[in-house]
A = this chain, B = another copy of it.
Amino acid sequence: MNSRFVMAAHVLGMLALHEREDAITVTSEAMAESIQTNPVVVRRLLGDLSRAGLVETKRGAGGGVRLARAPESITLCDIYKAVGEGAELFGRHPAGPNPMCPVAPMVAEYLEEVFRRAEAAVHQSLGGTTVAQMSHEVDKRIRALGGKGCR
């Protein structure tokens, strides 16, 4: 799978941390530096997250990004769905099952049900963690090392 989910979770985690310190919005460039990627890549993610109603962005000087909702109300499953839309957890082989063979389509069809169950299991697992929990835990570990905030 893509690393989009990891980056998106990283973004939301940072926003939750900064929200606690102060209400200042964060720029895509600052986040790109933390993730070690290009600001444009971050903005592409932000587009999905914004459409999903998880973050709010503001253009222009002094603009940036902040959480659109309370971090307690955002789960990792929300993020997963926001950035993974259309992407399947399990890949099918491109050609599909042989329609001439009577068993192949049936196997493929049955596997789709299995995949739906597995996907639901992932959703439930990710849904058990909120962005607030994540930021709390991360914050705890940062303090344990005596560090201060990023920037």
Interface residue ranges, A against B (CB under 8 Å): 1-3, 5-7, 9-10, 13-14, 17, 33-37, 76, 89-98, 101-104, 106-111, 114, 117-118, 120-122, 124-126, 128-129, 134, 137-138, 141-142, 145, 147-150
Asked if B141 contacts A106 (CB within 8 A), the reply is yes
A-B contact pairs, 10 of them (CB 8 A): A1-B91, A10-B107, A13-B107, A35-B93, A101-B150, A102-B147, A102-B148, A103-B142, A106-B138, A122-B122
CA distance A111 to B76 in the complex (A): 10
Known: A103-B138, A121-B121, A138-B103. A6 touches B150 (CB 8 A): no
Q: Are A90 and B10 in contact (CB under 8 A)?
A: no
Partner among B35, B110, B120, B129 whose Cβ is within 8 Å of the Cβ of A104: B35
For A109, what are the chain B residues with a Cβ–Cβ distance below 8 Å?
141
Cα A125 to Cα B93 in complex, Å, equals 22
Asked if A126 meets B118 with Cβ closer than 8 Å, knowing A36-B98, A142-B103, A149-B103, the reply is yes
A148 vs B96: C-alpha distance when bound (angstroms): 21
Q: Which residues of B contact A125 (CB under 8 A)?
A: 117-118, 120-121
Q: How far is the CA of A89 from the CA of B3 in the complex (A)?
A: 10
A108-B33 in contact given A101-B150, A118-B125 (Cβ < 8 Å): no
- Of B3, B89, B111, B145, the contact of A93 (CB 8 Å cutoff): B3
